[in-house]
């Protein structure tokens, strides 16, 4: 007995999981092991306990014992006990004795579960093997058949069409941007000329503009650039911004530099190390 068969015999969870996967093929799988005739009643195939016992080649008492131990699972599978009017309705379909007050009927799913529980029945073993083989085959990935030349040509044509559509979309976007640019230029050209000249940049403004541009282009933090610049001022001119700012009323280090007339030197240093060397 294989490990999978052993699990199927002993685990109710494994039995229910497997039945859920092959429920619609239960009758087919049973018939692969041995012929079992199901009569149609209310749209469902049914068999009696006697028929099921004959199929698995075990005594009826054995089935009744298994049924008693696993009644909840069998009931959930659709096993029914007919009485009264329902019992009378099947007397024309299956063999029922006149004295019978009830009748247990099996549809394919509980009949298949029974095969998972009967340990010593050769037919039950065949049912388990067939079920496991079916699950394994169903789980295997199905090989994709090779494409014909026509299918390959069609796929390539579809790719070319999609590529052409993407190119057209990009061209349309570019054209839209160009039209907006032309419109913006026309609006700017229609603006009146300024009545006053723009004020020139001061050294302080030029210094800030230089450092801002350099930091953006090199992805460097402004604080690091200013720290490097002030350190270079101390090395070249002996002017320590950090030491003087402690006793100064200046609101910023740059204002302190300007108060001491060092702004021109600082700008010259910044122009040299940022523009020429390009690194901090």
240 near 262, Cβ under 8 Å?
no
212 and 135 in a common domain: no
In a domain, 155, yes or no: no
Same domain, 135 and 209: no
Q: Is residue 157 part of a domain?
A: no
Question: Alpha-carbon distance 277 to 279, whole Å?
Answer: 6
Same domain as 127, residue 255: no
Q: 139, 154, 175 — which closes off a domain?
A: 139
Q: Please indicate, yes or no, if residue 149 is contained in any of the structural domains.
A: no
pLDDT reported for residue 9: 60
| Domains identified in the chain, total number | 2
Q: What is the pLDDT of residues 66-97, one digit of tens each?
A: 999 888 888 888 899 988 888 888 887 888 77
Of 139, 154, 187, the last residue of a domain is 139
Residue 47 lies in a domain: yes
Distances (CA, A) of 92 to 86, 105, 248, 250, 257: 11, 14, 114, 111, 113
Residue-level pLDDT at 279 = 46
Q: Which domain holds residue 79?
A: 3-139
Is residue 151 in some structural domain? no
pLDDT of residue 274: 85
| Predicted local confidence at residue 1, as pLDDT | 56
Say how far apart CA 50 and CA 27 lie, in whole Å. Answer: 17
Which stretches of the chain score pLDDT less than 70? 1-12, 14-15, 18, 22-24, 138-144, 276-280
pLDDT for res 207: 92
- Domain end among 105, 123, 139: 139
In a domain, 134, yes or no: yes
pTM: 0.46
If asked whether residues 15 and 123 sit together in one domain, one would say yes
pLDDT tens-place string over residues 101-126: 888 988 888 888 888 888 888 898 88
Residue 30 counted as domain residue: yes
Confidence (pLDDT) at 11:
63
Is 181 among the domain residues? Answer: no
pLDDT on residue 142: 60
């Amino acid at each position: 007995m294989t490990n999978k068969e052993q699990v199927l015999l002993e685990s109710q969870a494994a039995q229910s999981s497997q039945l859920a996967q092959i429920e619609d093929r239960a009758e087919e799988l049973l018939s692969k092991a041995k012929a079992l005739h199901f009569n149609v009643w209310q749209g469902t195939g049914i068999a009696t306990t006697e028929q099921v016992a004959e199929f698995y080649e075990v005594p009826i008492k054995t089935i009744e014992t298994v049924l008693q131990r696993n009644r909840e699972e069998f009931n959930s599978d659709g096993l029914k006990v007919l009485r009264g009017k329902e019992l009378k309705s099947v007397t024309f379909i299956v063999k029922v004795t006149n004295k019978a007050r009830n009748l247990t009927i099996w549809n394919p799913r509980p009949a298949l579960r029974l095969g998972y529980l009967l340990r010593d029945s050769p037919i039950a073993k065949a049912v388990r093997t067939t079920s496991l083989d079916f699950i394994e085959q169903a789980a295997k990935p199905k090989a994709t058949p090779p494409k014909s030349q026509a299918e390959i040509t069609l796929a390539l044509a579809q790719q070319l069409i999609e590529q052409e559509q993407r190119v057209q979309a990009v061209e349309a976007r570019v054209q839209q941007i160009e039209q907006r640019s032309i419109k913006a230029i026309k609006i700017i050209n229609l603006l009146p000329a300024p009545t006053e000249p723009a004020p020139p940049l001061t050294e302080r403004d030029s210094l800030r503009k230089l450092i801002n541009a350099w930091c953006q282009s090199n992805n460097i933090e402004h604080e690091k650039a200013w720290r490097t610049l002030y350190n270079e001022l101390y090395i070249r001119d002996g002017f320590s911004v950090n030491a003087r700012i402690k006793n100064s009323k200046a609101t910023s280090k740059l204002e302190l530099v300007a108060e001491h007339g060092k702004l021109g030197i600082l700008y010259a240093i910044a122009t040299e190390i940022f523009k020429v060397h390009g690194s901090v």
